[in-house]
Amino acid sequence: MLEFLQRPVVVTADVNLNIVALTLLGLLSRLWQLTYPRAVVFDEVYYGQYISFYMKRVFFLDGSGPPFGHMLLALGGYLGGFDGNFLWNRIGAEYSSNVPVWSLRLLPALAGALSVPMAYQILWELRFSHCAAMGAALLMLIENALITQSRLMLLESVLIFFNLLSVLSYLKFSNSQKHRPFSLSWWFWLTLTGVACSCAVGIKYVGVSTYLLVLGVAAVHAWHLIGDRTLSHVRVLCHLVARVAALVVVPVAMYLLFFYVHLMLLYRSGPHDQIMSSAFQASLEGGLARVTQGQPLEVAYGSQVTLKNAFGKPVPCWLHSHQSTYPMIYDNGRGSSHQQQVTCYPFKDVNNWWIVKDPGRHRLEVSNPPRPVRHGDVVQLVHGMTTRFLNTPGGEQASQTAVRGLGPWGCPVLPVRGCHGGSARLLLRALVPLPASSVLVFGGWPSRSWERGPGHESDLTTRRALQDIVNRDADTDIWKTILSEVRLVHLNTSAVLKVSGAHLPDWGFRQLEVVGEKLSRGHHESAAWTVEEHRYGKSQEQKERELELHSPTEMDISRNLSFMARFSELQWRMLTVRTDDSEHKYSSTPLDWVTLDTNIAYWLHPRTSAQIHLLGNIVIWASAGLATVLYALLFFWYLLRRRRNICDLPEDCWLRWVLAGALCVGGWAVNYLPFFLMDKTVFLYHYLPALTFQILLLPVVLQHISDHLCRSQIQSSLFGALVVAWYSAACHVFNALRPLTYGDRSLSPSELRALRWKDSWDILIRKY
């Protein structure tokens, strides 16, 4: 029974010393003097702000990508004990003693270092030689731009790491499929493929490109699997279900997990709150949650409310009015109603307050008990400070308005033109004095009708609004603070109150224009309104009411939005938020990247000429582009000959050649070509993920030439000598550009000029 104790315990392991050596070299190249320079370098000023937000648990929104990459950088700060107290306001600012520079840069550096042995393993899993695999890894090791990018607090090296990991994991899974399907290692590599793909997408949206590439290769393999008649129907179904679970379900679940952790960490109000809806803001600690503490949930007749455009388009603003009037004559010579202005104001102000009034009563305070406004009820709005109704000064029928709800995530935006621009659409207009018989009007009239002015007979007609909430659960639903999203529709003309997106001229104080547009079947994001601040009016007297409006609200609507509701809103905001796309000094075009006609000056020493540039190894970049063209030509040549039943390559070599091209050329294409379609400012570092796949292709093409195109031993030897000379040239370029890669050595002006190999390179030379 205890015989096993009498035998020695023996553990055997295969250790690939090539991988060990490459890993050590990668760590040395990326971790050496990692804390230098101890200053903010280029986009560290951008990511550092978000790390501080994580440390302080303050909510933020970044439209450049999902939060996983930011969380990884923040993890480095957390492990280093960073408290978030540093002002990330300019490039070159010296880091204070409380900033753990080494920890903040560690994860990108590790990702860059591990990409070196990973390149070796990918080519080995593709069944290429050790020499080719070693060549790919060594090219990754000495590529200057990859070193520069991975030694700083930036995300490209982390994205490249997960791109390569997803490809490597799938190749290991595919090779396990041939020998041990459904084994433990088979499940591990399949699941890791899905996890790596989700991590790539979670870092930057461009990670979707590599994910779709892996899915495409997996789909082709699955299609061949379906045609394998040696497998039973049940086994084929199990294969398909396993792939769907690991490559679709797992990435989706992981992606949701990233946002769940992100929202759990950032629970405090921050500077980006106003971009989000009122309901989202109310779910954060502080900010709107503090402002709305204790306010009533149900809107009643007599309620005092502020109405915010629910989706913040074009910017968050509140329905607003003031005593200033529209001009008598517009600049184009057209007449005006000359009534009180109605705008959308992007700041909180006492003139944002409105009173919800019962059309059948003259009272402007809440009754006891309060009578809530339900779906379908008729209401009117009175401007709190001026006691004037929102009105259309002109029209053919009695002015009436419906208040209609929006679905929880908005609706399409229809084009609108400003009232002062001569639009033929219905135009919402000003406020009129409150006569005893009048009722609230939302809506507008055609541009030729409203110009007839306040003397038109419709000014004396009733003006009513119908409360119609679309995002209701039942027809008896009550208009709720923050939660209800409503739109305001003129009953007789079906004109929708909305923010046009245009700014009024100086006579309108450059505030946002409010217009009316014909109601259509589609919804308008800019026509959705929510009640943000709310209280029950207590006084009928105007002076007392004005004092009440000036006083702060006593307000915590602890409306806990579900995770999916918060995720959906945040994801939509990230995809649609407008970023500053102004031209940058170091921005470039995708055509500049292939030929390396551009560079980026990352950092300049404040006193010496030491500097860091994002500048690639020109030998590697040119060779990688040439290898891509050569592969494409050879591939189509072989394909045409195979069509004529001339097989230049054995079947296993052909399949390996095709798979390598699909992953390497395909990886380059999907990570590069989409930038031609992007309407945004792009930089050289956006090309690095695509370049990585090109570097993997280089040894593939070189080995193919050596094995299949060199017909004699002399040709092979000559080609081998050329490869050695070529790699020596790449090493020489690496060493020449090394001072600009690490920035650890000051160069003289003549040395800097000597490194300006292209006129388009911006090498900084101090003038003493």
3-state secondary structure of 697: helix
User: What is the pLDDT confidence band of residue 422, given thresholds at 50, 70 and 90?
Assistant: very low
**Alpha-carbon distance 318 to 760, whole Å?**
48
Q: Among 68-82, 274-288, 363-377, where is mean pLDDT lowest?
A: 274-288
Tell me what the mean pLDDT of segment 52-71 comes to. Answer: 91
**Alpha-carbon distance 700 to 697, whole Å?**
5
Alpha-carbon distance values, 516 to 233, 401, 525 (Å) = 61, 11, 14
3-state secondary structure of 124: helix
pLDDT in tens, 319-343: 999 888 888 777 777 766 677 888 8
pLDDT in tens, 341-376: 888 988 888 899 898 888 888 788 888 888 888 877
The sign of the torsion formed by the CA atoms of 402, 403, 407, 412 equals positive
pLDDT in tens, 612-633: 999 999 999 999 999 999 999 9
**Alpha-carbon distance 353 to 126, whole Å?**
68
Give domain 295-394+436-443+461-551's CATH architecture: Trefoil (2.80)
Of residues 78 and 293, which shows the higher confidence score? 78
**Alpha-carbon distance 406 to 69, whole Å?**
34
**Contact yes or no for 199/251 (Cβ under 8 A):** no
Tell me what the mean pLDDT of segment 153-157 comes to. Answer: 95
Q: Among 194-203, 240-249, 511-520, 731-740, where is mean pLDDT lowest?
A: 511-520
pLDDT of residue 550: 67
pLDDT in tens, 648-696: 889 999 999 999 999 999 999 999 999 998 888 899 999 999 999 999 9
**Alpha-carbon distance 665 to 198, whole Å?**
22
pLDDT of residue 255: 96
**Contact yes or no for 615/761 (Cβ under 8 A):** yes
**Alpha-carbon distance 389 to 38, whole Å?**
61
Is the omega angle on the peptide bond into residue 369 within 30 degrees of 0, that is, cis?
Answer: yes
- The closest alpha carbon to 635, from 612, 603, 658, 668, belongs to 658
Of residues 471 and 125, which shows the higher confidence score? 125
| Domain positions in the chain | 37-263+585-755, 295-394+436-443+461-551
pLDDT of residue 392: 58
* Residue labelled with tokens 């959705």: 528
pLDDT of residue 471: 65
User: What is the pLDDT confidence band of residue 398, given thresholds at 50, 70 and 90?
Assistant: very low
Cβ neighbours around 375 below 10 Å, total: 21
pLDDT of residue 466: 52
- The closest alpha carbon to 309, from 319, 301, 300, 321, belongs to 319
pLDDT of residue 534: 86
pLDDT in tens, 444-459: 332 222 233 333 333 3
- The closest alpha carbon to 561, from 658, 662, 482, 460, belongs to 482
**Alpha-carbon distance 391 to 378, whole Å?**
15
pLDDT of residue 519: 65
Percentage, residues of the chain above pLDDT 70: 82
**Contact yes or no for 26/106 (Cβ under 8 A):** no
**Contact yes or no for 122/33 (Cβ under 8 A):** no
* Amino acid in position 398: A
Q: What is the DSSP letter of 248?
A: I
3-state secondary structure of 460: helix
User: What average pLDDT does the chain have?
Assistant: 82
Instruction: Catalogue the E-assigned strands of 491-546.
Output: 495-503, 512-518, 529-536
Q: Number of H helices and number of E strands within the chain?
A: 22, 17
Of residues 122 and 529, which shows the higher confidence score? 122
Supply 170's token pair: 């799938």
pLDDT of residue 340: 85
Would the pLDDT of 584 be above 70? yes
Rounded to a whole number of angstroms, the distance between the first and last alpha carbons of the chain is 85
- Report field, pTM of the whole predicted structure over 0.85: no
**Alpha-carbon distance 137 to 620, whole Å?**
13
Compute φ and ψ for 355, nearest 5 degrees. -115, 130
Tell me what the mean pLDDT of segment 540-556 comes to. Answer: 65
pLDDT in tens, 596-616: 999 999 999 988 889 999 999
Q: Among 52-56, 257-261, 533-537, where is mean pLDDT lowest?
A: 533-537
pLDDT of residue 473: 67
Contacts of 470 (CB under 8 A, 6+ apart): 404, 405, 406, 407, 485, 487, 523
